[in-house]
Structure 1
Amino acid sequence: MSILEMKVPSPGESITEVEIATWLVKDGDYVEKDQAIAEVDSDKATLELPAEASGIITLKAEEGDAVAVGQVVCLIDTAAAKPEGGAPAAEAPKAAPAAEAPKAAPAPAQPAATYATGSASPAAKKILDEKNIAATDVKGTGKDGRVTKEDAINAVPSFGTPTGGARNISRKKMSMLRRKVAERLVEAKNTTAMLTTFNEVNLTEVNKLRSQYKEAFKAKHGVSLGYMSFFTKAVTRALQLFPDVNSMIDGQEQLNFDFIDISVAVSGPKGLMVPVVRNAELLSFRGVEADIKRLATRARDGQITVDEMTGGTFTITNGGVFGSMLSTPIINPPQSGILGMHNIIERPVAVNGQVVIAPMMYIALSYDHRIIDGRESVGFLVAVKEALENPMELLLDNNPTKAFEL
Structure 2
Amino acid sequence: MKEIKIPELAESITEGTISEWLVKKGDKVEKGDPIVELETDKVNVEVNADHAGVLVEILHQEGDDVEVGDVIAKVDEAAEAGASVEQSNAETPVAQHSEVEVEQPSQHPVQEEPSSEPTDEQNHVIASPAARKRARELNIDLNSIQPRDPLGRVRPEDVEAAASKKQDQKQSDTKKSAPKATEKTEFTKPVERVKMTRRRQTIANRLVEAQHEAAMLTTFNEVDLTEVMKLRSERKDKFLEKHDVKLGFMSFFTKAVVGALKDFPLLNAEIQGNELVLKKFYDIGIAVSTDDGLVVPVVRDADRLDFAGIEKEISNLGKKARDNKLGLSDLQGGTFTITNGGIFGSMLSTPILNAPQVGILGMHNIQKRAMVMPDDSIQVCPMMYIALSYDHRIVDGKDAVQFLVRIKELLEDPYDLLLEG
Q: TM-score, normalised by structure 2?
A: 0.70
State the AA in 2 paired with 1:305: G
Pair 1:218-2:237 in alignment: no
Name the structure 2 match of 1:11: 9
Q: Deviations over 1:44-73 (max 9, x none)?
A: 222233445665433211222221212221
Alignment partner for residue 407 of structure 2, among 375, 384, 387? 384
Match of 2:382 in 1: 359
What residue in structure 2 maps to residue 368 of structure 1?
391
Deviates more, 1:21-30 or 1:303-312: 21-30
Residues 156-199 of structure 1 show CA distances to partners (whole Å, capped at 9, x for unaligned) of xxxxxxxxxx9542222222221111111101111111110000
In 2, Cα distance between equivalents of 1:193 and 1:355: 40
Whether the 8 Å contact between 1:233 and 1:395 is mirrored in structure 2 is: yes
Distance in structure 2 (CA, Å) of the matches to 1:35 and 1:224: 38
Q: Structure 1 residue 76 and structure 2 residue 79: aligned?
A: no
Deviations 1:345-378 (A, max 9, x none): 1221122322111111110000011100112101
What is the letter of the counterpart of residue 243 of structure 2? H
Kept in 2, the 8 Å contact 1:11–1:306? The answer is no
Shift of 1:35: 5.2
SS in 2 for 1:217: helix
Contact conserved, 1:21 with 1:175, CA < 8 A, in 2? no
Residue pair 1:262, 1:316 contacting (<8 A) in 2 also: yes
Count of aligned pairs:
314
Alpha-carbon distance between aligned partners in 1 of 2:32 and 2:248, rounded to the nearest angstrom: 37
CA contact (8 A) 2:27 2:81 kept: no
1:20 maps to which of 9, 18, 21: 18
What residue number does 1:327 align with?
A: 349
Displacement of 1:81 after TM fit? 4.4
What code does the residue aligned with 1:209 have?
L
Say which SS state the counterpart of residue 206 (structure 2) adopts: helix
Q: Within 5 A, what are the aligned runs for 1:218-367?
A: 218-352=240-374, 353-367=376-390
Q: Which residue of 1 aligns with 2:221?
A: 199
Which segment is superposed worse, 318-327 or 74-83? 74-83
Distance 1:45 1:382, change over 3 A: same
Cα distance, 1:23 vs. partner?
2.7
CA distance in 2, matches of 1:82, 1:290: 45
- How far residue 328 of structure 1 moved from its aligned partner, in angstroms, is 0.2
Which residue does 2:46 correspond to in 1?
Answer: 48
| More divergent stretch after superposition (240-249 vs 74-83) | 74-83
Using the alignment, how far apart are the partners of 2:190 and 2:33 within structure 1?
Answer: 38
SS of the residue 1:328 aligns to: coil
Deviation larger for 317-326 or 51-60: 51-60
Classify the secondary structure of the residue corresponding to 2:403: helix
Q: Which runs of 5+ in 2 are unaligned?
A: 83-187
After superposition, residues 127-146 of structure 1 pair within 5 angstroms as: none
Q: Could you say which residue in structure 2 is the equivalent of 1:188?
A: 210
Q: Is the 8 A contact 1:46 1:177 kept in 2?
A: no
Give yes or no for contact 1:266–1:272 (8 Å, CA) kept in 2.
yes
- 2:170: which partner in 1? none
Contact 1:10–1:16 (8 Å) recurs in 2: yes
Letter in 1 for 2:70: Q
User: Distance in 2 between the 1:76 and 1:292 partners?
Assistant: 41
Describe the superposition over 1:255-304 as per-residue Cα deviations: whole angstroms up to 9, x where unpaired.
10111111111112321111111111111111111111111111111111
CA contact (8 A) 1:42 1:177 kept: yes
Measured in 1, the distance between the counterparts of 2:254 and 2:285 equals 10
Distance 1:54 1:225 in 2: 49
Q: Which residue type is aligned with residue 360 of structure 1?
A: M
For the 8 Å contact 1:47–1:302, the answer to whether it is kept is no
Structure 2 partner of 1:62: 61
Partner AA of 2:45 in structure 1 = L
Q: 1:46 corresponds to which letter in structure 2? A: N
**Counterpart-to-counterpart distance in 1, 2:34 and 2:220:** 46
Amino acid at match of 1:374: G
Pairwise CA RMSD: 2.1
- The alpha-carbon deviation at position 390 of structure 1 amounts to 0.3
Q: Tell whether the 8 Å contact from 2:287 to 2:294 is kept in structure 1 after alignment.
A: yes
1:370 partner SS: coil
Paired with 1:80 and 1:219, the residues of 2 have a C-alpha distance of 57
TM-aligned CA deviation for residue 80 of structure 1: 4.8
Aligned to 2:194: 172
Instruction: Tell me the distance in 1 between the aligned counterparts of 2:293 and 2:45.
Output: 14
Counterpart mapping for 1:64-143 below 5 A = 64-81=63-80
Distance 1:48 1:349, change over 3 A: farther
Instruction: Provide the secondary structure at the position in 1 that maps to 2:36.
Output: strand
**Identity over aligned residues, as a percent?**
53
For 1:25 and 1:171, locate their aligned partners in 2 and report how far apart those are by CA, in whole Å: 29
Q: Mean alpha-carbon deviation: is it higher for 376-385 or for 63-72?
A: 63-72
CA distance in structure 2 between the partners assigned to 1:385 and 1:269 by the alignment: 32
**Aligned-residue offset at 1:217:** 1.5
Shift of residue 318 of structure 1?
A: 0.6
| Cα distance in 1 between the residues matched to 2:46 and 2:321 | 12
Q: Which ranges of structure 1 fall in alignment gaps of 5 or more residues?
A: 84-165
Counterpart residue type for residue 186 of structure 1: V
Whether the aligned pair in 2 keeps the contact of 1:329 and 1:339 (CA below 8 Å) is: yes
Residues 20-58 of structure 1: per-residue CA shift (max 9 Å, x gap)? 123344434455665543321222222233445665433
What TM-score results when the alignment is normalised by the length of structure 1?
A: 0.73
